Amino acid sequence: MNTSTFKAVILAGGSGERFWPLSTPERPKQFLRVFGGASLIRQAVTRLDGLVSPKDVFVVTAKNLVAATRKELPEIPKCNILGEPMRRDTGAAVALGVGLAASDADPVIGFFSSDQMVANPKAFRKVVSKAVAIARRKQVIVTLGIKPTYPATCFGYISPKTRTFVEKPDAKTAKKYVKAGYLWNAGMFIARASTFRGAFAAHAPELECLTRFETDGTNRTDGTRSRSKAIAGGGLAKLYSALPKISFDYAVMEKSKNVEVVPGDFGWDDVGSFAAFDKYFPHDSRGNVREGPCTVVEADGNICVARSARISLLGVKNLVVVTTPDSVLVADKSRLTEMKRLFSR
């Protein structure tokens, strides 16, 4: 494969809420190192080795995370890492990513998350290559559909036959989807720059201008230059403030007819909450997962991460207990989906 015409955009926003206090608004989930040596964003880039060279990797992140992201990914050109002036969901982020990665050569651009796990990177690269090949020759947006390992209610699904996207289902519907061969929507999209642009123009015209965004005017020569320059010249924040908060799925994919699904089975996980620790760490004889100094007496099924003070558990069950120098979280495992409520007060 000619890697020069494939570019990768890593979407690296994140509020840092779901793994708080390990993650924070200043160090959201993609910087998490708890799953082994490398941070999730480091793993997300390394995983693409061989498919794309560092100069063709771009990152769309939050303005306040640009410095940390550049530090984490030193091999990527600094100007490839761009901070959005404010959060506007994945619709705007993808559009901006198209603007960032597009060139006159109309490259295939792949969008990937910065905070997901892939157990089998080799299989992942194979699937991505296949998707890139399709996207190069057809005017379609290719999405990777993950083969479900259980009837998850925390992911959207894609029907590979009808190529339709469906939102997160309830438990009963999830079972039906899995039985019907639906795949998990992992939020990975691959298409030519021109295809993305066309899709935005057709379905989300208010976002289309971002696909023509240029940071320094050096890589665009078409008639949009003047507009792009206007955006780059300090207009991005103003423009963003007027944009809708809308996901790429909702803005484009659910409406698009030219969608193709490539199924994948490479041990994907979006690591949505502390509950994922139960999957990735070994348990003691009573089902506790521990990192750091923890004393555990008559306690079962807890996730215990001691990053500062020693944690002592006595007679408690199914808790997530996390200590950092600033904060101590004590949450019932079944309530992790409500983490946000700790911050909205």
Query: Which of 71/345 has CB closer to its own copies?
Result: 345
Two structure tokens written together for 231: 């955006």
Shortest distance, CB of residue 100 to its own copies, whole angstroms? 37
303 binds its own copies, rule: CB under 8 A: no
Q: How many residues can be counted in the chain?
A: 345
157-159 vs 164-166, strand pairing mode: antiparallel
312 binds its own copies, rule: CB under 8 A: yes
CA distance 329 to 266: 32
Q: Helix 193-203 and helix 89-101: axis angle, to 10°? A: 140
Query: Which of 19/58 has CB closer to its own copies?
Result: 19
CA distance 96 to 102: 10
Give yes or no for a contact between 103 and 193, defined as CB atoms under 8 angstroms apart: yes
Of 166, 232, 275, 339, which one interacts with its own copies (CB under 8 A)?
339
Query: Which of 121/301 has CB closer to its own copies?
Result: 301
| Beta strand residue intervals within 181-222, DSSP E | 183-192
- CB-count burial class (<10 Å; 0-12, 13-18, 19+) for 165: buried
327 binds its own copies, rule: CB under 8 A: yes
328 binds its own copies, rule: CB under 8 A: yes
Shortest distance, CB of residue 18 to its own copies, whole angstroms? 12
> For its own copies, how many residues bind (rule: CB under 8 A)?
34
Report CA-CA distances (Å) from 5 to 125, 131, 250, 316: 16, 13, 28, 55
191 binds its own copies, rule: CB under 8 A: no
Give yes or no for a contact between 196 and 211, defined as CB atoms under 8 angstroms apart: yes
Q: Which of the residues 7 through 36 are near its own copies (CB under 8 A)?
A: 21
Shortest distance, CB of residue 283 to its own copies, whole angstroms? 18
Shortest distance, CB of residue 270 to its own copies, whole angstroms? 21
314 binds its own copies, rule: CB under 8 A: yes
Mention every residue, 6+ apart, whose C-beta is less than 8 A from residue 66: 81, 82, 83
Cβ count within 10 A of residue 38 = 13
Shortest distance, CB of residue 326 to its own copies, whole angstroms? 6
Instruction: Give the contact letters, 266-295, x = binds to its own copies (CB under 8 A), - = no.
Output: -----------------------------x
Shortest distance, CB of residue 36 to its own copies, whole angstroms? 25
> Quick one: which segment of 51-59, 125-133, 186-194, 321-329 binds its own copies (CB under 8 A)?
321-329
Query: Which of 111/274 has CB closer to its own copies?
Result: 274
Q: Render 49-89 in DSSP notation, one character per residue.
A: BTTB-GGGEEEEEEGGGHHHHHHH-TTS-GGGEEEESS--H
Amino acid at 230: A
Shortest distance, CB of residue 304 to its own copies, whole angstroms? 9
79 binds its own copies, rule: CB under 8 A: no
> Quick one: which segment of 49-57, 212-220, 246-254, 329-337 binds its own copies (CB under 8 A)?
329-337
Shortest distance, CB of residue 272 to its own copies, whole angstroms? 16
Report CA-CA distances (Å) from 334 to 37, 40, 264, 276, 313: 28, 24, 29, 12, 18
CA distance 102 to 222: 12
Binding site for its own copies (CB under 8 A): 21, 295, 297-298, 306, 308-316, 319, 321, 323-332, 334-336, 338-339, 341-342, 345
